[in-house]
Amino acid sequence: MARLMGTKTSSKVVTGYFGPFTFLDNQVAFDNVFRAAPRILCSVLLRESSVLKEDIDGFFDNCKFDIFVTSCRSYVGVLSRESDIQAMHAACKSICGLRMKEKVNGRIVVLNPDVLFSKFMEITPLLPDDASKWSTQLCSAYFNELTPELRVRMENDNFVMPALNQLNSRKDQIDALQIVRDKSSTTFKKLKDETDLIPSIITRSNNAGQARRMRNQFIAEDGTQPAPPPAVRNDANANIILAHGHKSPAEETMQSTAPEPPTL
């Protein structure tokens, strides 16, 4: 090995074979001593130790790289046309599986259109640049995954879907998706404002009804002295109920002491 590596030893010990030479006339004995394919080393140094070490280190690096590449291929698969098609179909399937309204832990959760758009953009880079091979369209898939109320409101607002036959690249698909996203975000905000306005309208209506009921009970809204209840007269006109108006005390006294009209 010292001769192979090109190093010199200071020891005077010489290694070699000092046994009988029976192997010269017997192939079996030769194979037992030197094996089937012995390597004959020359007496001179093969290469310098520094150069040989660099070659051995390079060989080790190549071996390590081969092992690393094999491990990566076992993990992510071998690059092929078939694997690219499978990855594209998997990405399209994931996009079609997104929903704006979904059930999480037994509860219905409605996402914001911007959140749904961000989920689309997380999967879109997995698709190839040539959109003609896709099994879905980003803008139409996004529109179909909105809530029914939001889709109907967008259609009532004269929303027009981008032309699907002109979306031949991934950039065109993203641009069309952005158009649908902008319209859905604006419409979603309008619906939310209207939904938040309904409770306030109901509250004002209930307050107005309560005020009307209080007025029917002869309670003034401005905090003034409430009017007395209707008085019943103990005379021939006892069945007539008179509601007190806002008269002066003198007028009320004159009316109560006035003589009865003669009977004809």
Cβ atoms of 136 and 111 closer than 8 Å: no
Residues spanned by the domain of 40: 2-76
Q: Do 93 and 55 share a structural domain?
A: no
Q: Do 91 and 47 share a structural domain?
A: no
pLDDT digits (tens), the chain, 264 positions: 455 444 555 566 666 667 788 888 888 888 888 888 777 766 555 566 677 788 888 888 988 888 888 777 655 554 556 677 888 888 899 998 888 888 878 888 888 899 999 999 999 988 888 988 898 899 999 999 998 999 999 999 889 999 888 899 999 999 999 999 999 999 999 888 888 777 777 777 766 666 666 655 544 445 555 555 555 455 544 444 444 444 555 666 666 666 665 555
Q: Using CA atoms, how far apart are residues 228 and 219, in angstroms rounded to an integer? A: 10
Q: Do 98 and 185 share a structural domain?
A: yes
Q: Enter the tokens of residue 214.
A: 């209080």
The dihedral region occupied by 167, where left means phi > 0, alpha psi between -120 and 50, and beta the remainder, is: beta
Q: Do 162 and 64 share a structural domain?
A: no
> What pLDDT, in 10s, does the model give residues 148-204?
999 999 999 889 999 888 899 999 999 999 999 999 999 999 888 888 777 777 777
Sign of the Cα torsion 240, 245, 248, 249 reads: positive
Q: Do 204 and 88 share a structural domain?
A: yes
Of the three residues 25, 42, 76, the one that is the final residue of a domain is 76
Q: Using CA atoms, how far apart are residues 130 and 120, in angstroms rounded to an integer? A: 17
Q: Do 179 and 138 share a structural domain?
A: yes
Q: Using CA atoms, how far apart are residues 179 and 187, in angstroms rounded to an integer? A: 13
How many CA within 13 A on the CB side of residue 113?
27
Q: Is 238 part of any domain?
A: no
CA 204 to chain centre: 39
Of the three residues 210, 225, 249, the one that is the final residue of a domain is 210
> What pLDDT, in 10s, does the model give residues 115-131?
999 999 999 988 888 98
What value, to the nearest 5°, has the Cα angle with vertex 61 and ends 55 and 63? Answer: 105
Q: Do 106 and 37 share a structural domain?
A: no
Q: Using CA atoms, how far apart are residues 130 and 132, in angstroms rounded to an integer? A: 6
* C-beta neighbour count of 91 within 10 angstroms: 19
Q: Do 90 and 60 share a structural domain?
A: no
Q: Do 64 and 180 share a structural domain?
A: no
Q: Do 144 and 62 share a structural domain?
A: no
Q: Is 170 part of any domain?
A: yes
- Entry pTM: 0.47
Q: Is 239 part of any domain?
A: no
Q: Is 95 part of any domain?
A: yes
Q: Do 156 and 105 share a structural domain?
A: yes
How many CA within 13 A on the CB side of residue 208?
6
Q: Is 23 part of any domain?
A: yes
Q: Using CA atoms, how far apart are residues 95 and 144, in angstroms rounded to an integer? A: 11
Of the three residues 51, 76, 101, the one that is the final residue of a domain is 76
Q: Is 235 part of any domain?
A: no
Q: Is 241 helix (H, G, I), strand (E, B) or coil?
A: strand
DSSP state of 101: E
* Per-residue exposure over 53-84, b if at least 16 CB sit within 10 Å of its own CB, e if not: eeeeeeeeeeeeeeeeeeeeeeeeeeeeeeee
Q: Is 208 helix (H, G, I), strand (E, B) or coil?
A: helix
Cβ atoms of 153 and 191 closer than 8 Å: yes
Q: Which residues contact 184 (CB under 8 A, 6 or more apart)?
A: 113, 142, 143, 146, 150, 154
Q: Do 162 and 106 share a structural domain?
A: yes
Q: Is 71 part of any domain?
A: yes
Looking at the structure of the chain, the number of domains it has is 2
